[in-house]
Chains A and B, each alone.
Chain A
Amino acid sequence: MIPPRFTAVADHALLVEFARALDDAAHEAVLRLDAALATVPCPGLREWVPAFVNLLVDFDPAVTDHAQVEAHVTGLLDQAGAPGASPVTHEVGVCYEEPFGRDLAAVADKTGLSEEAVIAAHLAGDYRVYLYGFAPGYAYMAGVPPELRLDRKTAPVRGIAAGSVIVAGPQCLITTLTMPTGWWILGRSPVKVLTGDEDRPFLFGVGDRVRFRRLSLAEFEAENGASHG
């Protein structure tokens, strides 16, 4: 077990850091603490937010304080073999055809791969949801194969449609809103991460795995129509 560093955040939150740089063992520790808090919450716990190497615990200052929350978290970490959440594997369709794969040619150019090899490399990736961040439903997945890892564009491109499958470095995500992005746009998915289902409004859990499956334009249209039906 990595001993965490605790830092007070204003009067109502505590940051639990397992590392200060990207680190797989630290992320595993985040996932274990995430699951442990769900099983054994403490009084005054309002919400907690898992990220790459740290987890933020937000609490009601009228009920508890930093020291009590830190003691609770320390107790959870001391319990050996705390059960982790059971990750789900999702199969997600993605269409790389025109007009969706708008950066395929540029990515091929930058990586020295053919466009088909770019698609094959993206499909071969083993993706895992590390955290949601930035905006609603933006599930940050890591697992882009090394040959496909590119720095962000020098300037963001505006008006990129929801459902775009975008990559930067080891990360991949499916956008949920029309927004600017400096990531590389490989295709479009008919899958809705914001499901519209009140009982399960977000498709992925943190820690879940994702495999991409290639769709033709016709298959995309069929699945897209179905998910809007």
Chain B
Amino acid sequence: MAEAVFRVVQAGPLVSVQDGGRPGMMRFGVPASGGMDRKALALANLAVGQPEGAPVIEVSLGGLTLECLSGRVSIAVTGGAFVVEAGGRRAASWQVVTIKAGETFTIRRGHWGAWAYLAFAGALQAPRWLGSAATLASSNLGGGVLKAGQEWVVAEANLLPPRDLPRPVSARPRRRLHVVMGPQAHCFAPEALEAFAAGPWFLTPQGDRMGVRLKGPVLALGDALSIPSEPIVRGSVQVAGDGVPVVLLADHQTTGGYPKIATVLDDDLDSFTQLRPGDGVSFAPIGAAEAAALGRFRAERWADYKARMRDRMRGSPG
């Protein structure tokens, strides 16, 4: 089978291999990891005929430049609106293009979005840990963080016709997040709970794959400054002793001893990660039953969307 080989010319911080993640390991201290924007990752793979959770390269605002050393392969870029330059041709994210030996390929920050996904029409050869190539950034376990000079191989490389990809409305950055209050709402004074819902909140530059600190009103803790360490989920809004909330994301620590004032609905998190430092965000508290109904509705809608993408892929020429 054909193979394409790439050399990393430049990689910004936090550019790493990600895939569908390794869920189910939290009891061993291992978060699921995987894409910060899991939907964009899945759609990049589906656009090039790969399983939705196949390994891809997640590109941060620091950007990425690859040189194709040999072979040729089609690729898809999804996620935020990044600038894509392929062999001197100007392109954009949400496109399928082909790269061949001797060409350089660059993905860099565009007018919105924080993460882009580069999927190959082939099998990116990446180290796996516990069955997944997702990189746990704090440990570099999994496929790993990309560094200049590295070579990456794509096996079973295929060619697809160039095309634009439909970008779902839900892929845009999301500034209003549904939350269920708690599980430690009882650790906060009523005024703190009101201040949390009222905002305004802004993302700070202190963010990475583990989580992002917000700027806004101080959320005074009651007497319970710390609780026995308990499990954390992606989307937990944890408040440390300084009264500053942190939204925990793909590589979150699995347990923590600071109270969680609220938890963001899972479906809101992918688009939330496409916000940049300085962007505003607000929280809309809803009840647990309403949250479950909304979660179910969105899970069904997302499954339908992916099914349509797969159908379109099967129907596409070439």
Give A residues with C-beta under 8 Å from B.
Answer: 7-13, 15, 17, 20-22, 46-56, 58, 60-62, 65-67, 131-140, 177, 179, 198, 201-202, 206
Contact = CB atoms under 8 A, between A and B. Distances in A.
Nearest to B182: A7
Nearest to B141: A136
Contacts of A140: 229
A56 B235 CA distance: 14
B312 interface: no
Contacts of A206: 27
Contacts of A21: 228
B264 A56 contact: no
Mostly helix, strand, loop or mixed at chain B's interface?
mixed
A11 B254 contact: no
Nearest to B292: A65
B26 A47 contact: yes
B183 A47 contact: no
Interface of B: 23-30, 130-131, 136, 138-139, 141, 179-180, 182-183, 227-231, 233, 235-236, 253-256, 263-267, 288-289, 291-292, 294-296, 299-300, 303
Nearest to A47: B24
B47 to A, nearest CB: 24
Contact of B255 (A12, A51, A198): A51
A136 B29 contact: yes
Nearest to A60: B299
A125 B277 CA distance: 48
A9 B183 contact: yes
A54 B230 contact: yes
Given A10-B233, A56-B231, A202-B28, A133 B253 contact: yes
Contact of B179 (A10, A15, A135): A10
A9 B263 contact: yes
27 contacts: A7-B183, A8-B182, A10-B233, A12-B295, A20-B228, A21-B228, A47-B26, A49-B27, A49-B231, A51-B230, A52-B230, A56-B230, A56-B233, A58-B26, A61-B292, A62-B296, A66-B288, A66-B292, A132-B29, A133-B229, A133-B254, A133-B255, A135-B254, A136-B28, A139-B29, A140-B229, A201-B130
A51 B265 contact: no
